């Protein structure tokens, strides 16, 4: 039996109400040389039964039931089973936008680049008919070397946020044993992409927006509170900086490299504050205090004595309580801007 061109890995955990739409967007594709690997990540609803039914309907669909281990474990299980030349990852509540999405990808993969990148749309779980472009980076429909890609990342025109907006050559994954880190509770896609880039020579960027993801779905793994978010983000940005500086071309100046480093860590701090603010109303008093202490300590190591740290914690606790009570999003933005400005000043001094 000949091997398929695409292996499409779909991890599924308690998404029975979305799964048929997701798989349906694949089965209606005009390009038909693919396999679908549905990985049931220990679901407690009827997702497993639905996977069995979908497998019985089409020989290209293959189901696997595993104990619940998270999205990374499910994707890694899919990678072990994959037989295609290229691997795509599709989340079980997402879909391909148009019926010729795979055909468009196939036409751009004739010269077998290590990676294909394409555009993404977003839709709200509450209003799935409305789609928007989330601005995850720009594409221009051409081949690039990996050093050109790293240059663009440093200059801020391309991001590698999701694993669902790329096609990866399976032979590269197998040769270099690239896997999703199962111990991570956040950012596993980013780390996988950066590790993969280290083994690329050429990438192709499509202008087409071929993937649509469901935003703000209740129960989604990407929309949950993560304790110690700033430390996780700092570790991820260390890897980002290390990867891009190792891969970039000679045309990147020292000043651009320094600016990139600063931008990455400011971005981590801003994302951590936004994460805390978003989930703040649902946290206990102990969690609020612990997260605030963690952010303030990590962001300003060694510069806050016990009294100053306690004072800033109280300031943030009262400020957040007031902003949430008044539903004053503008006030939270001022707090975050002030904190990032102070962080930038501290980093320059040290």
20 plus 112 within the same structural domain: yes
CB 82 within 8 A of CB 170: yes
How many Å apart are CA 42 and CA 13, to the nearest integer? 7
200 plus 76 within the same structural domain: yes
pLDDT tens digit sequence for 129-152: 444 444 444 445 678 899 999 999
284 φ/ψ angles, rounded to the nearest 5 degrees: -75, 165
68 plus 98 within the same structural domain: yes
| Residue span of the structural domain in which 293 resides | 229-349
Please give the structure tokens belonging to residue 68.
């619940």
Three-state SS for 88?
A: strand
Say what the pLDDT of residue 130 is. 43
The answer to whether position 120 is within a domain reads: yes
Check residue 239 and give left, alpha or beta (phi > 0: left; psi -120 to 50: alpha): alpha
Say what the pLDDT of residue 285 is. 81
Helix (H) or strand (E) holding 6: strand 6-12
The answer to whether position 327 is within a domain reads: yes
Which of 171, 187, 215 is a domain's end point?
Answer: 215
The answer to whether position 27 is within a domain reads: yes
Which of 160, 191, 215 is a domain's end point?
Answer: 215
The answer to whether position 173 is within a domain reads: yes
246 plus 103 within the same structural domain: no
User: DSSP string of 45-70?
Assistant: SSHHHHHHHHHHH-TTEEEEEE----
pTM (2 d.p.): 0.86
160 plus 274 within the same structural domain: no
256 plus 211 within the same structural domain: no
199 plus 251 within the same structural domain: no
Say what the pLDDT of residue 306 is. 65
The answer to whether position 221 is within a domain reads: no
How many Å apart are CA 21 and CA 92, to the nearest integer? 9
The answer to whether position 46 is within a domain reads: yes
134 plus 156 within the same structural domain: yes
pLDDT tens digit sequence for 95-126: 999 999 999 999 999 889 999 999 888 876 54
Q: What 8-state DSSP symbol labels residue 280?
A: G
Please give the structure tokens belonging to residue 185.
């509770």
Ranges of residues in the chain with a pLDDT under 50 are: 126-139
CB 149 within 8 A of CB 194: no
79 plus 203 within the same structural domain: yes
pLDDT tens digit sequence for 195-205: 999 999 999 99
CB atoms inside a 10 Å sphere around CB 298: 16
Distances in Å between the Cα of 330 and the Cα atoms of 53, 83, 223, 314, 327 are: 49, 50, 22, 20, 9
Helix (H) or strand (E) holding 209: strand 202-215
Say what the pLDDT of residue 207 is. 83
165 plus 248 within the same structural domain: no
147 plus 294 within the same structural domain: no
How many Å apart are CA 332 and CA 310, to the nearest integer? 20
How many Å apart are CA 33 and CA 6, to the nearest integer? 7
Taking Cα atoms as reference points, which of 181, 267, 187, 269 lies closest to residue 226? 187
The answer to whether position 1 is within a domain reads: no
CA 269, 270, 273, 275 torsion-angle sign = negative
Return the bridge partners of 123, or none.
Answer: 131, 214
Three-state SS for 329?
A: helix
The answer to whether position 220 is within a domain reads: no
Which of 157, 184, 215 is a domain's end point?
Answer: 215
Total domain count for the chain?
2
Say what the pLDDT of residue 160 is. 84
How many Å apart are CA 276 and CA 59, to the nearest integer? 45
36 plus 178 within the same structural domain: yes
């Amino acid at each position: 039996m000949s091997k398929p061109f695409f292996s499409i890995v779909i991890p599924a955990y308690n998404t029975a109400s979305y799964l048929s739409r997701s798989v349906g967007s694949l089965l209606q594709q005009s390009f038909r040389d693919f396999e679908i690997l549905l990985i049931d990540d220990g679901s407690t609803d009827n997702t497993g039964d639905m996977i069995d039914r979908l497998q019985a309907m089409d020989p290209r669909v293959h189901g696997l039931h595993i104990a619940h281990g998270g999205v990374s474990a499910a994707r890694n299980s899919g990678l072990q089973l994959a037989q295609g030349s290229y691997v795509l990852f599709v989340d079980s509540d997402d879909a391909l936008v148009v019926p010729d999405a795979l055909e468009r990808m196939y036409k751009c993969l004739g010269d077998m680049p290590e990676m294909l990148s394409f555009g993404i749309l977003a839709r709200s779980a509450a209003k799935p008919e409305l789609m928007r472009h989330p601005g995850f980076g720009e594409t221009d429909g051409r081949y690039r070397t990996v050093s050109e890609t790293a240059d663009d990342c440093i200059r801020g025109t391309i991001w590698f946020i999701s694993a669902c907006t790329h096609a990866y050559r399976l032979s590269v994954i197998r040769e270099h044993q690239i896997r999703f880190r199962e111990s991570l509770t956040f950012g596993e896609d980013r780390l996988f992409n950066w590790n993969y880039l280290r083994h690329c020579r050429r990438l192709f960027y499509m202008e087409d927006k071929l993937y649509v993801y469901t935003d703000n779905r209740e129960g989604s793994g990407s929309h949950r509170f993560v304790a110690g978010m700033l430390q996780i983000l700092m570790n991820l940005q260390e890897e980002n900086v290390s990867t891009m500086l190792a891969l970039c071309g000679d045309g990147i100046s020292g000043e651009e490299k320094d600016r990139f480093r600063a931008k990455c860590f400011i971005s981590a701090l801003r994302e951590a504050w936004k994460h805390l603010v978003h989930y703040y109303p649902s946290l206990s008093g102990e969690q609020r205090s612990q997260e605030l202490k963690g952010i303030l300590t990590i962001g300003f190591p060694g510069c806050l004595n016990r009294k100053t740290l306690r004072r800033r914690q109280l300031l943030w606790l009262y400020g957040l309580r007031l902003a949430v009570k008044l539903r004053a999003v503008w006030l939270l933005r001022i707090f975050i801007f002030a904190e990032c400005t102070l962080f930038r000043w501290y980093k320059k001094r040290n």
